[in-house]
Chains A and B, each alone.
Chain A
Amino acid sequence: MSTKLIEAIGLARHYRLGTRVLRALDGVDLAIGRAETLGLVGESGSGKSTLGRTLVGLQPPSRGSVRFDGMDTKGATGAVLRQLRRRRQLVFQDPSGALNPRMTIGATLTEHLRVQGWERAAVRARVPQVLAAAGLSAAHAPRYPHELSGGQRQRAVIARAISTDPDFLVADEPVSALDVSTRAQIINLLRSLQRDRGLGMLFISHDLSVVAHMCSRVAVMYLGRIVELAPREALFAAPLHPYTVALLSAVPLPDPVRERSRNRIILRGEPPDPADPPPGCRFHPRCRLASAICTRVDPPLRWFGPHHAAACHHAGEQAAASAAGGPVRINAGRPAEEGGAGQMR
């Protein structure tokens, strides 16, 4: 399967908290294609950052495996490991924390490349190139992070991430810490990089509007699981999981007319403690569709149509409703097909 760039198979990551076990990731199956950007949305504690960090190899999975370009990443050593490091990179949420305050931007880039075995001369030539690619200039190289603005710092972090010509990038909330006007600049930069370099990307965000602008496919996470996975048109037009529906309805629109005429679904309660998830479907205490079965049986991720999967006992009804012209469409998209439910491979 050469179309898959990176694949998570039954990925789990557990943390021990005293006597309890926090299942930050609890069985995630996911594949991202070459030059594809997959959006990953979810609230704090959903495990989306853990998934991103596990995919780039910053943390080992507790169970399951990560396959990159057809090979198992576990136990890779020597040249293979170096290749894996070169090809998978991470852009962090907070650019201030992601750059060493005592190193100039140039030194940070140089160190990053030298560690990966680049020759001094090659590094010298490379640094101005990647700074330019990230929208900075060679004049930024001798600057310390505190001398740059937030947006410039995030550009420097992006420059470091693309300096080794990776083919897979995890962007973990790359614009959440930035101001509105800077945010647009960084979104445009990431989009142009993804377009020009054919980068595969996992774009993690809690902001669905940003995801809509960055990603062709979107996965929704809730308490360590993927609860819905669909092309963005289908997800936004005909969401199947009630959590996705609520999430979409909670996003404020910068438009007073639409914002005030919307029919809001306001979720009850708070996201539960990930170390103590409810039995059955993890979403059921907050779900307006919850029925008896939801409190007992944990629904698996099922396929409704070739591209749209959801983990909900009632997703079939939802799919039927939307096929019949159901909820308001935000944007014309691929209609979700009814039935055809099959287990995830």
Chain B
Amino acid sequence: MSDILLEEIPLPAPAGRSHVLRRFVRHRLAVLGVVLIALLGIGAAGAPWLAPHDPDEIAISERYAPPFTAGRVLGADDLGRDVFSRLLYAGRISLAVGVAAMLVTLIVGFAIGAFAAYYGGWIDTLLMRLTDVMLCFPSVFLLLFVAAFVTPGLGSIALMIGLTCWMEIARIVHAQILALKSADFIAAAELAGAPAWRIVLRQILPNTLAPILVAATLNTANAILLESYISFLGYGIQPPQASWGNMLTNAQSDFQVDAWLAFFPGLAITLAVASFNFIGDALRDALDPRLRDA
């Protein structure tokens, strides 16, 4: 019996994930970010129940009501619409655009990066040069160019942002797969006869998840910002529907008198973008395998 000997296995708690959590929690700002995103998310999701007024309800008598007057927490805008309610509803749009655009960048970026790296050869060259070319254009201009031809709407804006911001993900995925392609466990899967899509999804994707997750978080922040830009410039979400970006546009003309009209949507954008960025940075540290044993 000596030839096959059971080794003593001390069974440590299958720990991987809690380590990641512990390192994440060490980033105070990221934890604050999670809390803020949660609050913004709850506010947006629960807008129909939380909003004290209809966001589009016009009350001429209460135009420019400052905060804490006329029963309005954050005051009313130039048409007497309730700013707090509009902020909540705008959050629905802005966050939804951010998340949807991020998903688009993920799908497009992963598909292009993975396809290029896995097949190699001229496909690789073609797709990665395309990526480089796309990276050469500042995405805001690309976006404005496209926006001129497309009817603005939540879906189309998310799609447009996604289609102009997938390059970073593609590059990350490409690099990761190139590094993994020569790993023996990939050879083992090929030997077993696993088709390419299965190798990519089962063997490669889980190993590239960490950097992708980080990039996705940062992309969400970027997408929220981009939506604000184009809405601010008038190509995005169209009034009367509120987004944080077009609320800013609205406030622009009255900025010298009623600065608080610009302050609250600006604050919402800043908080959301900063929070996603903090979370992304913390994830980068927490998921770094080199720090696994720390």
Contact = CB atoms under 8 A, between A and B. Distances in A.
Is A–B contact present in the complex under a CB 8 A cutoff?
A: yes
A135 B184 CA distance: 22
B203 interface: yes
Given A100-B207, A135-B5, A185-B5, A58 B14 contact: no
Nearest to B12: A147
B3 A98 contact: no
Interface residues of B, number: 29
A13 B3 CA distance: 37
Given A100-B207, A101-B207, A111-B202, A160 B188 contact: yes
A144 B16 contact: yes
A58 B206 contact: no
A75 to B, nearest CB: 15
A58 B187 contact: yes
A99 B185 contact: yes
A112 B192 contact: yes
B185 A100 contact: yes
A115 B198 contact: yes
A57 interface: yes
A188 interface: yes
Contacts of B183: 97
15 contacts: A98-B184, A98-B188, A100-B203, A100-B206, A116-B193, A135-B5, A135-B7, A137-B6, A151-B7, A152-B7, A160-B188, A188-B3, A189-B3, A192-B3, A192-B4
Contacts of B16: 144
Contacts of B2: 188
Q: How large is the interface on A (under 10, 10 to 19, 20 to 34, 35 or more residues)?
A: 35 or more
Interface in A45-84: 53, 56-58, 81-82
Interface string A85-111: 100011011100111111100001001
A139 interface: yes
Interface centre among B184, B202, B206, B292 (most CB of A within 10 A): B184
Contact of B9 (A133, A139, A160): A139
A146 B16 CA distance: 10
Contact of A90 (B3, B12, B188): B188
Contact of B189 (A56, A102, A111, A144): A111
Given A56-B191, A111-B202, 20 more contacts: A57-B191, A82-B193, A90-B188, A97-B185, A101-B207, A103-B206, A111-B189, A111-B194, A115-B189, A115-B198, A116-B192, A116-B193, A135-B6, A137-B9, A139-B9, A144-B14, A147-B12, A147-B14, A149-B7, A188-B2
B81 to A, nearest CB: 50
Contacts of B5: 135, 185
Contacts of B198: 115
B3 A81 contact: no
Nearest to A94: B184
Given A81-B193, A115-B193, A90 B9 contact: no
Interface in B137-189: 183-185, 187-189
A142 B14 contact: yes
A102 B184 CA distance: 14
A191 interface: yes
Contacts of A90: 187-188, 191
B11 interface: yes
B191 to A, nearest CB: 6
A143 interface: yes
Nearest to A132: B4
B54 interface: no
Interface string A142-158: 11101111011000000
A313 interface: no
A89 B192 CA distance: 8
A58 B190 contact: yes
B7 to A, nearest CB: 6
A282 interface: no
A140 interface: yes
Nearest to A161: B188
Interface of A: 53, 56-58, 81-82, 85, 89-90, 92-94, 97-103, 108, 111-112, 115-116, 133-137, 139-140, 142-144, 146-149, 151-152, 160, 185, 188-189, 191-192
B291 to A, nearest CB: 14
B224 to A, nearest CB: 30
B16 to A, nearest CB: 7
Nearest to A157: B188
B178 to A, nearest CB: 15
A149 B292 CA distance: 17
A61 to B, nearest CB: 16
Contacts of A93: 184
Nearest to B13: A147
Contacts of A151: 7
Contacts of B14: 142-144, 147
A99 B207 CA distance: 12
A81 to B, nearest CB: 7
A115 B3 CA distance: 31
A152 B9 contact: yes
Given A102-B206, A139-B9, A92 B184 contact: yes
A85 B191 contact: yes
B56 to A, nearest CB: 48
Interface centre among B7, B189, B190 (most CB of A within 10 A): B7
Contacts of A149: 7
Contacts of A136: 6-7
B246 to A, nearest CB: 43
A108 B192 CA distance: 12
A304 B14 CA distance: 59
B11 A139 contact: yes
B194 to A, nearest CB: 4
Interface string B1-40: 0111111010110101000000000000000000000000
